[in-house]
């Protein structure tokens, strides 16, 4: 099997390339350049690594499409008061969209990545995307918006690996990745400071402007303080509000029309249900179990729930009240064994 391996310059993709080559597959390395200001370290290091391994390397400039499909929507969603998930968007539109297309154009049968997830034949569902075995690094959540027909051409060599094993394996082979440091949470946001990034980028969008400060109010309308711009806050946030109150306050919601930040004690954050759109179905709903698990944040356990589909909308009712998910976040539906049944984008919570 001829497999293109998406190589970023990090440890996980290098380990994937080595594992597939050692398994006897014909491999080629495919590096997507997503950022125009790329410093070239990854490409230079990958050229040396691939030459040493005897693996052909193809570099593909996708920076303009990455800007259009990932970065610009990220900024726009924040301007609209949402909390977007750019990694999920990138996987769906760029990595398993444009990069997969390029891999196929080079004659590859599939595209492999260093994601900690599993995909393949399943005794009940026929085919399934599932959690990787490393519960800390599992990235199936970020893959849940990728269409099934795309994921069927994906290979995840690290599905059964733990991060520590990957590092140890590279050390044993004497391989040092060109970018040995762990990648930051959002690759295009320097220092993971999304507020500074938005402040720099908002001017690039004609007719758009970052809103200034305004009132912070309780659900009953009582003003208890002020905010410094709604785009600086996320639902559920506690730190950095700068509001003195008898009990800790959290961000409950953002009223964009009135430029008002709604805050409340933690109990008010709990909701029974949420609805999500842009539903990406990965398993026939007729096969879904009645009781499922729904995850609405990456660093969060999936919670027991009941779900229904109607008119392209996923309705979720949690067994127990949960912290309100923010519009723009991904809601991923799992069965009890860790199979991804569907992914969707949160619209609101009730």
Catalytic residues: 90, 187
If phi over 0 gives left and psi between -120 and 50 gives alpha, with beta otherwise, what is residue 280? Answer: beta
Dist CA 202 CA 246 (whole Å): 36
Give me 324's structure tokens. 């309100």
Give me 188's structure tokens. 């295009």
Q: Which long-range contacts (C-beta less than 8 Å, at least 24 apart) are formed by 227-234?
A: 227/261, 230/81, 230/254, 230/256, 230/259, 230/261, 231/78, 231/79, 231/81, 231/195, 231/198, 232/195, 233/261, 234/83, 234/326
Dist CA 142 CA 331 (whole Å): 10
Instruction: For the chain, list the strands marked E by DSSP.
Output: 2-6, 26-33, 57-61, 110-112, 117-122, 126-131, 154-155, 214-217, 223-227, 250-255, 260-264, 270-281, 292-295, 303-310, 313-323, 330-334, 340-349
Q: Phi, psi (5° rounding) for residue 317?
A: -120, 115
Give me 331's structure tokens. 């809601």
Q: Do strands 2-6 and 250-255 pair parallel, antiparallel, or not at all (unpaired)?
A: unpaired
- 268: CB partners within 8 A, 6+ apart: 219, 250, 252
């Amino acid at each position: 099997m001829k497999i293109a391996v998406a190589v970023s310059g990090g440890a996980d993709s290098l380990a994937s390339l080595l594992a597939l080559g050692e398994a006897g597959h014909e491999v080629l390395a495919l590096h997507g350049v997503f950022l125009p200001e790329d410093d070239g370290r990854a490409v230079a290091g990958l050229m040396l690594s691939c030459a040493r391994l005897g693996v052909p390397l193809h570099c593909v400039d996708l920076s303009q499409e990455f800007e259009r499909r990932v970065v610009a929507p990220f900024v726009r969603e924040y301007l609209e008061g949402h909390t977007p998930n750019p990694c999920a968007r990138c996987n769906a539109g760029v990595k398993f969209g444009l990069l997969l297309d390029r891999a196929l154009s080079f004659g590859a049968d599939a595209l492999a990545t260093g994601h900690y997830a599993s995909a393949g034949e399943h005794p009940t569902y026929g085919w399934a995307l599932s959690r990787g075995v490393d519960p800390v690094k599992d990235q199936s959540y970020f893959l849940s918006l990728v269409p099934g027909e795309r994921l069927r051409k994906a290979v995840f060599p690290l599905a059964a690996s733990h991060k520590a094993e990957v590092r140890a394996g590279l050390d044993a082979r004497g391989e040092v990745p060109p970018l040995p440091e762990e990648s930051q949470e959002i690759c295009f946001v320097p220092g993971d400071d999304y507020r500074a990034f938005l402040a720099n980028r908002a001017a690039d969008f004609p007719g758009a402007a970052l809103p200034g400060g305004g009132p912070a109010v309780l659900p009953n309308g009582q003003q208890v303080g002020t905010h410094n711009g709604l785009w600086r806050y996320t639902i559920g946030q506690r730190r950095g509000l700068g509001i003195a109150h008898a009990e800790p306050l959290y961000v409950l919601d953002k009223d964009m029309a009135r430029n008002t930040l709604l805050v409340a004690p933690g109990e008010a954050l709990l909701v029974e249900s949420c609805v999500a759109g842009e539903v990406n179905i990965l398993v026939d709903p007729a096969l879904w179990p009645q009781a499922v698990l729904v995850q609405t944040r990456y660093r969060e356990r999936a919670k027991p729930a009941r779900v229904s589909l109607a008119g392209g909308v996923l309705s979720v009712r949690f067994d127990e009240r949960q912290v309100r998910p923010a519009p723009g976040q991904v809601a991923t539906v799992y069965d009890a064994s860790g199979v991804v049944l569907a992914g969707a984008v949160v619209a609101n919570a009730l």
